Chain A
Amino acid sequence: MSILVIAEHDNASLKGATLNTVAAAKAIGGDIHVLVAGAGCGAVAEAAAQADGVAKVLLADNAAYENQLAENVAALVADLGKEYTHVLASATSNGKNIMPRAAALLDVQAISDIISVESSDTFKRPIYAGNVIATVQSSDAIKVITVRGTAFDAVAAEGGSAAVESIDNAQDAGVSSFVGEELAKSDRPELTAAKIVISGGRGMQNGENFEMLYKVADKLGAAVGASRAAVDAGFVPNDMQVGQTGKIVAPELYIAVGISGAIQHLAGMKDSKVIVAINKDEEAPIFQVADYGLVADLFEAVPELESSI
């Protein structure tokens, strides 16, 4: 078997999610190649070559791949994918955008967001907002898969010594172009990779009150997340949303503040190791999954928490 892993990167650095995806590839077993498609992304290929378990890195350095436009990258992935039994990417917004398109070009049914590898053709994945775990078996010759990063422990970023091979394969569909982007800037750890996450919900009442959570987060080295209610109310930007349709996190410690615990939010955090809920409504569903629940007014409890850690 041979497996192609699509690297997640921003042209400058390899994203941690790629290391979790390589771990899933190791669980399948076989030669693991990593594709780095981008522009001016040589450093990313060098980083990928050092990851444990990677046998070869394919570097497609071309202006057509600079912004990861799905039309171009999916065509490349489908073209290269014919030579492999499995093609894997992280279930990030980028992986979700590109992989189904590549799968359809290969005429195979993609498998989204796997949480375990049972065998080379059988995988587990959550459905119905994580309320059901399905074991699925693919009969396609090429398995196109996205991997839930929090379900696989990352492989070591150092220690490997794969060869980097430049490939000359420019796919430019010419039907789409990049206009611009607006990225949230933060010094805190990335939400999906943080060991501790503190999230706020509707109970925070406004965006300014999130400052209380930022203070706790900075003391704990934590990332800050939010429920959909907090995002929809405009308290915080949408890239902070944790849930079925936002980010999936599984930190060591998840602190839910003023979050009721709707099905859709639980889908994004209930695999956290320890869950703490701070809510004044003792009937809130979040207490059913919380290891430690504190029924209290968050406006008193959170500042007290900050001063006592």
Chain B
Amino acid sequence: MKILVAVKRVVDYNVKVRPKSDGTDVDIANAKMSINPFCEIAVEEAVRLKEKGVATEVVAVSLGTKQSQEQIRTAMALGADRGILVETDAELQPLGVAKCLNAIIAKESPDLVIMGKQSIDGDNNQTGQMLGALSNLPQGTFASEVAVEDGTVNVTREIDGGLQTVKLNLPAIVTTDLRLNEPRYASLPNIMKAKKKPLDTTTPDELGVDIAPRVQTLKVEPPAERSAGIKVADVAELVDKLKNEAKVI
């Protein structure tokens, strides 16, 4: 079977992002960029399914500027067979991304789509679910375990109270949670090999998709600062402060 994996280029998770002082945008001009951690887990899962003989081909797709090629190459260095870049300089929102991915599903007919549960920049947690709706395919979100068997996939999901398992007919959409797997590191020979793997480029226009944003960001600002606290000398002082100063116990 064929697996489609969606990957996103985001600010590295260790970078503390700040808004620009005029409040128009976040300041990420010189920030280190990486593949979104949840997307990395999605790639790893797809590659593992290939190694188990379940999948025959893994296709990595990304949407964004030309630089998103780097994240597709990363996915190929981790084991994806080929890549597709939907290139655009326009602002992307989950609905537009899901529409582009849906157009790619129509062309590629994958049996399984694996993607991260959320990107760590927008924190939307929407694209996989929206893709499920547009493609009319079932969804297994926040997956911590994925088991493919005879035309179905069992997905164990992380829910608020614990874990839940659902059975989905293939093709299906799966979004990954952190505990699905531990992604491997790309070795230098694999990074070199990835440079030779095919990478096709298309655009939202070529896919016939309107990605015009529906939600406008009016302003970005830093969250309210917490005033500096104090250090206490021992447990007795701590308990005293909590009882008599903060009055929370």
Determine which of B134, B165, B235, B242 lies in contact with A180 in the assembled complex, contact meaning CB atoms within 8 Å.
Answer: B165
Determine which of B158, B222, B242 lies in contact with A276 in the assembled complex, contact meaning CB atoms within 8 Å.
Answer: B242
Complex contact A245–B178 (CB within 8 A): yes
A227-253 CB mask vs B (1 if < 8 Å, else 0) is 010011000011100001101000011
Complex contact A126–B123 (CB within 8 A): yes
A112 to chain B, nearest CB (A): 5
Does A182 belong to the interface (CB within 8 Å)?
yes
Nearest neighbor of A111 in chain B, beta-carbon distance: B215
In this complex, the interface size class of chain B, counting residues with CB under 8 Å from chain A, is 35 or more
CA–CA, A239 and B162, complex, Å? 5
B235 to chain A, nearest CB (A): 4
From known contacts A71-B139, A245-B118, A264-B13, infer whether A176 and B162 are also in contact, taking CB-CB under 8 Å. no
Determine which of B127, B168, B234 lies in contact with A294 in the assembled complex, contact meaning CB atoms within 8 Å.
Answer: B234
Complex contact A292–B95 (CB within 8 A): no
B93 to chain A, nearest CB (A): 5
B141-169 CB mask vs A (1 if < 8 Å, else 0) is 11010000000001001111111111111
Complex contact B238–A112 (CB within 8 A): no
Q: Give the chain A neighbours of B138 by CB distance below 8 A.
A: 70-71, 173, 175-176
Does B188 belong to the interface (CB within 8 Å)?
no
Does B109 belong to the interface (CB within 8 Å)?
no
Q: Give the chain B neighbours of A105 by CB distance below 8 A.
A: 133
CA–CA, A182 and B159, complex, Å? 10
Does A291 belong to the interface (CB within 8 Å)?
yes
Does A122 belong to the interface (CB within 8 Å)?
yes
B102 to chain A, nearest CB (A): 9
- Quick check: which of A21-29, A31-39, A89-97, A155-163 contacts chain B, the rest being far away? A89-97
Q: What is the interface of chain A mostly: helix, strand, loop, or mixed?
A: mixed
From known contacts A109-B93, A176-B169, infer whether A128 and B162 are also in contact, taking CB-CB under 8 Å. no
- Quick check: which of A49-57, A133-141, A206-214 contacts chain B, the rest being far away? A133-141
CA–CA, A273 and B131, complex, Å? 38
Which among A98, A102, A132, A290 has the highest number of chain B CB atoms within 10 Å? A132
Complex contact B215–A139 (CB within 8 A): yes
Does A167 belong to the interface (CB within 8 Å)?
no
Nearest neighbor of A137 in chain B, beta-carbon distance: B216
Nearest neighbor of A291 in chain B, beta-carbon distance: B229
Does B183 belong to the interface (CB within 8 Å)?
no
Complex contact B130–A132 (CB within 8 A): no
- Quick check: which of B15-23, B44-52, B68-76 contacts chain A, the rest being far away? B15-23
Complex contact B126–A135 (CB within 8 A): no
Does B223 belong to the interface (CB within 8 Å)?
yes
Complex contact B216–A181 (CB within 8 A): no
Complex contact A100–B161 (CB within 8 A): no
Complex contact B249–A134 (CB within 8 A): no
A199 to chain B, nearest CB (A): 15
CA–CA, A263 and B17, complex, Å? 10
Does A295 belong to the interface (CB within 8 Å)?
yes
Q: Give the chain B neighbours of A137 by CB distance below 8 A.
A: 215-216, 218
Q: Give the chain A neighbours of B154 by CB distance below 8 A.
A: 179
Complex contact A135–B218 (CB within 8 A): yes
Complex contact B238–A132 (CB within 8 A): no
Complex contact B167–A100 (CB within 8 A): no
From known contacts A112-B125, A253-B249, infer whether A293 and B235 are also in contact, taking CB-CB under 8 Å. no
Residues in A lying within 8 Å of B, measured CB to CB = 67, 69-71, 74, 78, 92-94, 96-105, 107-113, 122, 126-140, 173, 175-184, 192, 196, 220, 228, 231-232, 237-239, 244-245, 247, 252-253, 263-264, 270, 273-276, 282, 287, 289-296, 301, 304-305, 308-309
Q: Which 3 A-B pairs have the closest CB atoms?
A: A104-B133, A100-B126, A100-B129
